[in-house]
Chain A
Amino acid sequence: MTFPDEVLMAYADDELDAQTRSAVDAAMAADPEIARRIAQHRALRSRVHSAFDRVLEEPVPARLLKVVRSEPAAAHGDNVVPLRRRQARHWAWPQWTAIAATLIVGVIAGRWGLVRIGAGPVVVRSGQVFASGALAAALSDQLTADQPAAAPVRIGVSFRSKSGEYCRTFIVRQTAALSGLACRAADGWQVSVLAGTQSPGGGPGTYRQAASAMPPAVIVAVGDLIAGEPLDAQAEAAARGKHWQH
């Protein structure tokens, strides 16, 4: 049995209905050429996707954040998107600019709850929040260029803050992900932003984009804190070499 290339492409993209899919499965078992063409579609998809994936981990330029924060939104008529929490927003933005010393618990979405965190990625000392356990270890040791796929913590981006500290964004993979931003202080990794991340697979539009999605609070905090460009692999390794002390 032969299939047009569009069908094999749709098979590779997981877009076929169950019936056509099993017909392709059966044909593939009998004809290695079909399997080869599907593998080719998948290889192209995976190559293109992974080349662009790292753009997600770049800090969002401050000018874009500024536009979203300050551009007036149209609010006329009955069909406007309800900008709920609008009062709170005017209060909330300046808070985010002064984020360095405080803990902001942002969006707690999905099924995340403190009780599920087990040993706990954070501890409170003298009223400040510090990373602990596996999170602290990953912040100190894990390089972005060399992260095991199954590591419980994924580091997003490392950078120097305007006041000179080394800071890193992270995602702790739990039932639903917990992500945030921590900066190196003399006595540990001080967590300045901590937010729940919606668990992957939430429906159309979130399709296959799960792993590196950062909540707005983290994106905004990085934009506010970062001085210059993020650290490249070499600078990151050097910073680790001096234990992230500046």
Chain B
Amino acid sequence: MDSSGEDLRDHIIELLPRLRRFARSLARNTQDADDLVQITAERALAHAGQLRPDHSVAGWLFGILRNAWIDEGRSRRRRESLLEPEDIAERVGDPAAAADQELLCLQDALSRLPEEQHLAVALVLIEGFSYKEAASIMGVPVGTLTSRLARGREALQSVLSETAGAPS
């Protein structure tokens, strides 16, 4: 994607829904996820000079969000692991609850994966980046991405089968 002549703020706004989705796949709590997006936007605007004309703006922004998650995420995730998502039980009977529950179930399963596998799964399966794009966002060779993705998928599949209480 050629970004050189386009406006960065418009680009960021256009990508906000996707950045929020990516953040939600990393952080279970919606506020925490939006904090990550906010940090990403702030850093992107503060470091606009680092974006080269031959870079994809999307890849650059997702890379910033990934770094923000790695930098700021560890303590947050430790805290999160002590808390159960409370809002599931409260919302039984809500017509949107089934979809919410599926989302929470997957967020929970993803949060049990090792960090690098979690990122690979989020970038490829949720965000739809190609292996090459995902590898570049993570700053690793495609082969490394591929093996993290394969292990991440396997781990995710097995966490989901456990959660469902039945072998797939």
CB within 8 Å of B: which residues of A?
5-6, 9-10, 13, 15, 40-41, 44-45, 47-49, 51-58, 60-61, 63-65, 67-69, 71-77, 79-85, 89, 107, 145, 202-209, 212-216, 219-220, 232-234
> What separation, in Å, do the CA atoms of A79 and B47 have in the docked complex?
11
Residue numbers of B with Cβ under 8 A of A are 1, 3-10, 12-14, 16-18, 20-21, 24-25, 34, 37-38, 41-42, 45-53, 56-59, 94-96, 99, 102-103, 105-106, 121, 124-133, 146-147, 149-150, 153-154, 156-157, 160, 168
Main secondary structure of the interface of B (DSSP, over half): helix
A79 shortest CB reach to chain B, Å: 5
Smallest beta-carbon distance B125→chain A, Å = 5
26 A-B pairs (CB sep. < 8 Å): A5-B150, A6-B146, A9-B149, A9-B153, A13-B131, A15-B130, A44-B153, A44-B157, A49-B126, A51-B103, A55-B21, A56-B20, A61-B34, A67-B41, A67-B42, A68-B9, A68-B45, A71-B45, A74-B45, A74-B46, A80-B48, A83-B8, A84-B6, A204-B133, A214-B14, A216-B10
Q: With contacts A55-B21, A55-B103, A56-B21 known, what are 11 further pairs, Cβ within 8 A?
A: A6-B146, A58-B20, A60-B16, A67-B38, A67-B41, A77-B49, A81-B3, A83-B7, A83-B9, A207-B130, A209-B128
Inter-chain CA distance A237–B4, complex, in Å, is 45
